[in-house]
């Protein structure tokens, strides 16, 4: 299968990025080093090309009511200018995909995972009402840049209007970046302050170049993964699949719907009576990192497998996530089988990292 390319592909190659397949796309995994790019986001400002993500536009008088039937978020009360993190759920309460919904003046913008664009469309299309709602796939014509880090607002303010520094967290506004029509939100996937910038594909190159010229460090998918894992953010295909519910994933706080939606009966049952398993963090006691698929043991018996694992650059020790029986408490010492050796790990609540409060 031929890999797809973002509008910034040639610029990544010119910068010396190592390109890898990801979700059907050819994407930069790193430019210099994953650790250096990770630290740039934590300490300064980094820039990611995430134009592979999918964008659906949902409009019409019945748009909010339609979305309220397919996600467990309280979409009906989502005000213009606000953003909510949620999931598409199936009839059994499992997660089809996780996404952000951005409420704009005349439509809702849905941003879905790159590898799930076709799957999500196929899931939603049969559920559309016969009238009152229009859904458009704007993925091909939309580029998405993520500017992340403590200096993100300072950098973006030099080329965006309205002033992005005035935008609260999980808010969105329409305006311009370098004269290009843009949607800018104060959201991200790194655990840091930052912005997502939606522009037409043909304008992506000059916006990318200008943000780099203003001091942003180009960052690849490698740093994006270590950053999101430190922040305890799930990745579809790792912490999520169609059999996993938001309750099991320790994301019950995202379930705020006041209406009927797909899978509500099972999710309500789990909220009331608990689940057999839940997602926990693992802080490795030694230096060996636990990788995806490694088995987790309690008292010599396997009780789960690692979903994601890495050496956390901000923390200085290896971390991982795993679905474990619900009776496993925080603070318990378990063992992860790493190359035939049993490595100790302590269970911890997510996230592993919270950004420090900085002067505004």
Condensed to tens digits (0 to 9), the pLDDT of residues 295-347 reads 999 999 999 999 999 999 999 999 999 999 999 999 999 999 999 999 999 99
Average pLDDT over residues 18-41: 97
Rg (CA), the chain: 20
The residue from 230, 263, 287 where one domain ends is: 230
In a domain, 192, yes or no: yes
The residue from 106, 134, 162 where one domain ends is: 134
Claim to verify: residue 100 and residue 161 sit in the same structural domain:
no
Reported confidence tier of residue 358, pLDDT bands at 50, 70, 90: low
Pick the range with the lowest mean pLDDT from 170-174, 299-303, 354-358: 354-358
Average pLDDT over residues 60-84: 98
In a domain, 299, yes or no: yes
Claim to verify: residue 167 and residue 291 sit in the same structural domain:
no
- Name the domain count of the chain: 3
Give the pLDDT confidence score for residue 356 in this predicted structure.
87
Give the pLDDT confidence score for residue 243 in this predicted structure.
95
d(CA 164, CA 155): 10
Give the pLDDT confidence score for residue 286 in this predicted structure.
94
Q: How many CB atoms lie within 10 A of CB 349?
A: 11
Give the pLDDT confidence score for residue 16 in this predicted structure.
98
Tokens 């200018």 belong to 81
Q: Which of 66, 58, 59 is nearest to 259 (CA)?
A: 66
d(CA 228, CA 221): 10
Rounded to two decimals, the pTM is 0.97
pLDDT at 285 > cutoff 90? yes
- Please give the span between the terminal C-alpha atoms of the chain, in angstroms, as a whole number: 48
- Print the domain residue range for 183: 9-51+140-230
Reported confidence tier of residue 1, pLDDT bands at 50, 70, 90: confident
Write the pLDDT tens digit of every residue in 215-272. Answer: 999 999 999 999 999 999 999 999 999 999 999 999 999 999 999 999 999 999 999 9
Average pLDDT over residues 64-81: 98
CA distances to 52, 140, 145, 198 from 201, rounded to whole Å, are 11, 8, 11, 9
Claim to verify: residue 32 and residue 164 sit in the same structural domain:
yes
Q: What is the mean pLDDT of the chain?
A: 97
Claim to verify: residue 34 and residue 115 sit in the same structural domain:
no
Claim to verify: residue 189 and residue 40 sit in the same structural domain:
yes
Reported confidence tier of residue 359, pLDDT bands at 50, 70, 90: low
């Amino acid at each position: 299968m031929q890999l797809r390319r973002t509008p910034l592909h040639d610029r990544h190659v010119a910068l010396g990025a190592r390109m890898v397949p990801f979700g059907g796309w050819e994407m930069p995994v790193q430019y210099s080093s994953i650790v250096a790019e990770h630290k740039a986001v934590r300490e300064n400002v980094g820039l990611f090309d995430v134009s592979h993500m999918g964008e659906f536009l949902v409009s019409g008088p019945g748009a909010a009511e339609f979305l309220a039937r397919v996600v467990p978020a309280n979409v009906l009360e989502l005000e213009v200018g606000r953003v909510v993190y949620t999931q598409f759920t199936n009839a059994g309460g499992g997660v089809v995909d996780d996404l952000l919904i951005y409420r704009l003046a005349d439509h809702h913008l849905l941003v879905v995972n790159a590898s799930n664009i076709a799957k999500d469309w196929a899931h939603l299309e049969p559920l559309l009402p016969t009238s009152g709602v229009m859904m458009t796939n704007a993925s091909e014509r939309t580029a998405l840049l993520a500017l992340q880090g403590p200096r993100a607002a300072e950098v973006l303010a030099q080329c965006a209007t309205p002033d992005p520094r005035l935008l609260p967290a999980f808010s969105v506004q329409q305006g311009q970046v370098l004269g290009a029509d843009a949607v800018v939100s104060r959201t991200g996937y790194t655990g840091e302050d930052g912005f997502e910038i939606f522009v037409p594909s043909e304008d992506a190159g000059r916006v990318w170049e200008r943000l780099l010229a203003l001091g942003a460090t180009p960052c690849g998918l490698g740093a994006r993964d270590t950053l999101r894992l430190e922040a305890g953010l799930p990745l579809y295909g790792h912490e999520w699949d169609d059999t996993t519910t938001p309750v099991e994933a320790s994301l019950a706080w995202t379930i705020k719907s006041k209406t009927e939606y797909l899978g509500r009966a099972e999710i309500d049952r789990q909220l009331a009576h608990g689940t057999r398993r839940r997602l926990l963090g693992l802080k490795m006691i030694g230096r060996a990192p636990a990788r995806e698929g490694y088995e987790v043991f309690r008292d010599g018996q396997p009780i789960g497998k690692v979903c994601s694992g890495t050496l956390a650059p901000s923390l200085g020790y290896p971390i991982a996530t795993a679905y474990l029986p619900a009776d496993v408490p925080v603070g318990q010492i378990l063992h992860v089988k790493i190359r035939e050796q049993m490595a100790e790990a302590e269970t911890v609540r997510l996230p592993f990292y919270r950004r420090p409060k900085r002067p505004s």
